[in-house]
Structure 1
Amino acid sequence: MNNELTIAAKAVQLYAERHPRPCQVTITQAAEMLGLSRHTVSKMVRAGQFRLNKCGLIPVEQIDAALQPV
């Protein structure tokens, strides 16, 4: 069992190394990450809950903060 966990951890590490997280995401990507609709995330942007950067993207740190438990 321990060997299986070691293999699984290594697989996750290899995936993360080959697929780095973006530093900014589109509204659609943010919606997927949050489990919300694109429309809902757009409303959250208009309400000021998320701020778009100069490229019109949401910094991933904002998504991470929204996913943190209160």
Structure 2
Amino acid sequence: MTNTEASSVAILAAASKAVELYAMRHPRPCHVTQQQAAQMLGLHRNTIRRFLDAGRLRLNRCGLIPTEQVDALLSVENLRR
């Protein structure tokens, strides 16, 4: 392994550890508001409302959107790009 490769591996390991520490200290919520979902998706709140009306997103009993649904939409949008 060259010095450059070793350096890259060390940087990736440090970045991975930093992400892990951040996730432990800042856990993601299980459910988000419509406004939070809009921010996560980079969309307007009215677009989230249309997604709800069309059945692309669903509210839970408390009127919140499960984060898994937002993640699923994010992955679909990333595949389209």
TM-score interval, normalised by the smaller of the two chains: 0.7 to 0.9
Match for residue 25 of structure 1 among 9, 32, 39: 32
Counterparts of 1:51-70 in structure 2, within 5 Å, are 51-69=58-76
SS in 2 for 1:68: helix
2:3 maps to: none
Higher helix share: 2
Gap runs ≥5 in structure 2: 1-6
- Structure with the bigger RCO (C-alpha within 8 Å, sep 6+) is 1
The sequence identity of aligned pairs, in percent, is: 57
Question: Structure 1 runs of 4+ off > 6 angstroms?
Answer: none
TM-score norm. by structure 1 comes to 0.86
* CA apart distance, 1:41: 0.6
Provide the aligned C-alpha RMSD in A. Answer: 1.4
TM-score norm. by structure 2 comes to 0.76
**Paired AA for residue 32 in structure 2:** V
Length, aligned pairs only: 70
